[in-house]
Amino acid sequence: MHKLVLIRHGQSQWNLENRFSGWADIDLTEQGVAEAREAGQLLKQAGFSFDLAHTSRLTRAVRTLWHVQDEMDAMWIPVVTDWRLNERHYGGLTGLNKAETAARFGDEQVKIWRRSYDTPPPPQDRAENPAVGDPRYADLAPEQIPDTECLKDTVERVLPYWHESLAPAIKAGRKVVVAAHGNSLRALVKYLDNISDEDIVELNIPNGVPLVYEFDDELRPLRHYYLGDAEAIAAKLAAVANQGKAKA
Ligand SMILES: O=C(O)[C@@H](CO)OP(=O)(O)O
């Protein structure tokens, strides 16, 4: 049996401020650091160990991974950072407050922008795009830097990464951890669990909680589960779902 652990980064400053982040490089809050450390402790106590890590090019995911590695005495393992694990690009919504956006455009429209499979938010002006000219993306052709993305666009970059990098490593027996983002992980989970375009709308992923996948030899998922207190995880999931609603 093969295993894979997925972790969404801990709380970021813009999660705290309830702002759309996407490719904006926003760091963890103190709570986010604590969540990452707790994730590492939970993994250690449950007997997990890793010999390979993958993460995005965004600081909040990289730093989450650092804390997990530190708690697990695994600072030595190879780490691959790849833009294809980045958060979905939030286009022209980047930086806006989610509740204020819902008050302006309606809860339904914001839910479509946040969670629908194939409706992207309005594009972001190139001049405001945080990724343009950023040296961390020097290996991308200009047209690979998105102006906006729906989940379908995110699937189209995450899935090749799964097939080319993650799946072969897992099949070869490597013990892999992936630290990434709410929507890049939704893209991967949609594929792994064969979730329909309609049902993916209701799927949220909490900050800083290890999500364990177990696979058979052909990498068909056998089961998955979160590590940690079920009630606390349910509360975190509800909080993520509610972030896009206008305040009463
Ligand atoms: O702002 C973002 O980039 C994401 C993840 O934090 O938010 P949402 O849950 O609204 O897709």
Checking ipTM against 0.90, whether it exceeds it is yes
| Catalytic positions | 9, 87
The whole-model pTM stands at 0.97
Sequential DSSP letters for 151-211:
HHHHHHHHHHHIIIIIHHHHHTT--EEEEE-HHHHHHHHHHHTT--TTGGGG----TT--E
- Ligand 1 contact, 207 CB (< 6 A): no
Domain ranges of the chain: 2-242
Say what the pLDDT of residue 123 is: 98
* CB-ligand 1 contact for 90 (6 Å cutoff): yes
> How far, in Å, CA of 241 to CA of 182, rounded?
11
Residues 6+ apart with CB under 8 A from 101: 20, 93, 110, 244
Q: Is 87 annotated as a binding residue?
A: yes
Which atom, in ligand 1's list, is nearest to the CA of 98?
10
- Quick one: which atom of ligand 1 is closest to the CA of 244? 10
Distance CA 12, CA 28 (A): 4
**What confidence score (pLDDT) does residue 248 get?**
56
Q: What is the number of the ligand 1 atom nearest to the C-alpha of 204? A: 9
pLDDT value, residue 23: 98
Centroid of ligand 1 to alpha carbon of 22 (angstroms)? 7
pLDDT score recorded for residue 80? 98
242 Ramachandran zone, left/alpha/beta (phi>0; psi -120 to 50): alpha
- 95 within 8 A of 20, measured Cβ to Cβ: yes
Question: How does pLDDT run along the chain (248 residues), one tens digit per residue?
Answer: 999 999 999 999 999 999 999 999 999 999 999 999 999 999 999 999 999 999 999 999 999 999 999 999 999 999 999 999 999 999 999 999 999 999 999 999 999 999 999 999 999 999 999 899 999 999 999 999 999 999 999 999 999 999 999 999 999 999 999 999 999 999 999 999 999 999 999 999 999 999 999 999 999 999 999 999 999 999 999 999 999 999 75
Q: Report the percentage of the chain scoring pLDDT > 90.
A: 98
- Report the distance separating Cα 177 and Cα 147, nearest Å: 29
Per-residue pLDDT tens digits for 128-146: 998 999 999 999 999 999 9
182 is in an annotated binding site: yes
Q: Indicate the fold that domain 2-242 takes in CATH.
A: Rossmann fold (3.40.50)
Tokens (6 digits) for 207: 């900050």
